[in-house]
Amino acid sequence: PQEAPAGSSPRPGPGRRFLWRSDARGSLVEATEGLAETIGASPVGRSWDDLLAGPVEAEPQVAAALAEALVQRQTFRAVPVRWRIAGTRIAVAVDLSGAPRLGAGRAFAGFSGFGVIHPERVVPATDRPEAPEPKPPRPSLRERAAAVIAVGRQPSGDPAAPPRPVPDAALRPDRSPALPRVEPGT
CA pair distance 66, 50, nearest whole angstrom: 13
**For the chain, which residues make up each domain, given as ranges?**
16-124, 141-171
Q: What is the pLDDT of residue 174?
A: 56
pLDDT 10s digits, 61-115:
999 999 999 999 999 999 999 999 998 999 999 999 999 999 999 999 999 999 9
CATH architecture of 16-124: 2-Layer Sandwich (3.30)
Write the DSSP symbol of residue 155.
Answer: -
What residues contact residue 51 under an 8 Å CB cut-off, 6+ apart? 28, 43, 131
Mean pLDDT over 107-130 rounds to 88
SS3 for 38? Answer: helix
Q: Is pLDDT above 70 for 161?
A: no
- Phi/psi at 106 (nearest 5 deg)? 60, 25
Mean pLDDT over 41-62 rounds to 94
Q: Is pLDDT above 60 for 140?
A: yes
Least confident window among 1-15, 22-36, 75-89, 139-153: 1-15
Cβ burial 114-134 (10 Å sphere, 16+ → b, else e): bbbbbeeeeeebeeeeebeeb
Is pTM, for the whole model, over 0.75? Answer: no
Q: What is the pLDDT of residue 166?
A: 56
CB 114 within 8 A of CB 19: yes
Higher pLDDT, 174 or 91: 91
SS3 for 116? Answer: strand
Q: What is the pLDDT of residue 38?
A: 93
Q: Is pLDDT above 50 for 173?
A: yes
Mean pLDDT of the chain: 80
Q: What is the pLDDT of residue 178?
A: 59
